[in-house]
Amino acid sequence: MKICFINPTIEMRRSVAELARNLAERGHEIGLVWPRLHKKGFDMSRHFTSMLMHDNIKIIDFPCFQVSKIFYSWPIPKKGSYVKKIKQILREYDVVHMWTYFYIINVTPLILRRLKEYRAKVVMTSDTFPGFSFKDPSLIANYTLVVYAKLFGRFLFNSCDKVLVYGKSMIKPAKKAGVRRKKLKILPIGIYTNKFIVKDKNKIKKVRNEFYVRPSTAMILFAGLLNPRKGIDKVIIVTKDLLDKGLKVKTIVAGEGLKKKYKDMAKTYGVGNSVVFPGRRKDIPVLMNAADVVILPTRGEGLPGVVMEAASASTPAVASNTPCIPDLVIDGVSGYLCNMDNATEFTEKIEYLVKHPTTRKRFGKAANKHIKTYDWKVLIKKYEKFYKNIIKG
């Protein structure tokens, strides 16, 4: 099969890179449309891009500028050549698979196929529906995205042959955003579960020592972008509350973003020494195994990689009860789901897991068992079957 993916952002998405690589390794011809911000090209060392180095993957780049001062970072094509490239792709490929409906570059293929019949079937994965599956911290962004969906959603979604979502909990928000039920299909993204099995206990001990986490201290881990949507403020508040209760904890906040803002906040709350901001890390599998609990008080996600990674490492997660996290975390069995706005609830659930290591271990095993159904070895076959069926019509 010939399948072309459209990566909607400057940064390469894990879901796009891993799916492209898996299909390429199975002999399929893969195209990858990728917006390029700089003349010098892409930094192939960042964010899963090294996975794209395969003979069966062809990168189709185009120059763009980025609107990032409003609320989302939107790549906008600089030249009309983008339209010509998309026309050619629609003629040459069996399937064009896009990600997320509110990015401008995804509108072009949908308009073109409305104007003329092309060879390619068009699929859109929407990992989230802002304003419907969650409320953005920015009221302006939230209102704009809801209005956008109300005005253009039905056109965009009806122009696709299929709209994919990652889990059952995203069906209701998708319908509210304007997707007809017959257009919807649940098909999650996968994960390399074996990547997060760390057998070398010395590596785990070393990383705990790096952050001065004693054996009697619980290590809480957040990994991801440091922005308001991810709930970093609640991570800091929960840490303070746990310490006030007399628990020995240290929280590691790994990732890039508004680091200074949250470091200052931690100092203001008097937990500057208990909340560590190491920045971007390349040893996430080790961190996941070193942690006792993973926390994700996010306002909205698709299928959060951090929860999938934690489960792969048999580490329980305490996360927001927002789509599609309930598809990953079985509340009270493999972890806990909490109200995203209730820091006290997060504190109580983490406190319980810290005080009950037997339950923590049991949850971790249950999480690991559940996440195996999301392993790429299982899901890549489902994607192949899906593409074959949609090509047949």
234, 298: one domain = yes
Asked whether the beta carbons of 160 and 110 are under 8 A apart, the reply is yes
368, pLDDT greater than 70: yes
206, 171: one domain = no
322, 209: one domain = yes
Helix (H) or strand (E) holding 165: strand 162-165
- What is the CATH classification number for the domain harbouring 103? 3.40.50.2000
How many CA atoms, within 13 angstroms, populate the side-chain half-sphere of residue 24? 20
83, 182: one domain = yes
95, 232: one domain = no
How far out from the chain centre does Cα 118 lie? 31
Nearest by Cα to 160 from 122, 187, 127? 122
The pLDDT of residue 69: 47
304, 320: one domain = yes
68, pLDDT greater than 70: no
262, 178: one domain = no
353, 381: one domain = no
As given in the structure block, the two tokens for residue 296 are: 């994700």
Q: What is the C-alpha separation between 191 and 19, in angstroms, rounded?
A: 10
Collapsed DSSP state (helix, strand, coil) of residue 9: coil
* 338 cis-preceded (ω within 30 degrees of 0): no
The pLDDT of residue 72: 57
The pLDDT of residue 44: 62
Mean pLDDT of 281-307: 96
Nearest by Cα to 183 from 155, 164, 166? 164
Q: What is the C-alpha separation between 64 and 74, in angstroms, rounded?
A: 10
267, pLDDT greater than 90: yes
Q: Which residue has the higher pLDDT, 42 or 132?
A: 132
Alpha helix (H) ranges present in 245-317? 259-268, 284-290, 305-312
Asked whether the beta carbons of 246 and 217 are under 8 A apart, the reply is no
Asked whether the beta carbons of 131 and 146 are under 8 A apart, the reply is yes
Task: Give how many domains the chain has, as a whole number.
Answer: 2
Mean pLDDT estimate for the chain = 93
Mean pLDDT of 186-207: 96
Asked whether the beta carbons of 383 and 185 are under 8 A apart, the reply is no
Nearest by Cα to 36 from 24, 49, 23, 26? 49
168, 200: one domain = no
80, pLDDT greater than 80: no
292, 154: one domain = no
263, pLDDT greater than 70: yes
Q: What is the C-alpha separation between 281 and 56, in angstroms, rounded?
A: 29
94, 207: one domain = no
**Confidence class for position 285, pLDDT limits 50, 70, 90:** very high
Task: Give the domain extent around 294.
Answer: 193-374
Mean pLDDT of 75-95: 91
pTM of the shown model: 0.92
288, 181: one domain = no
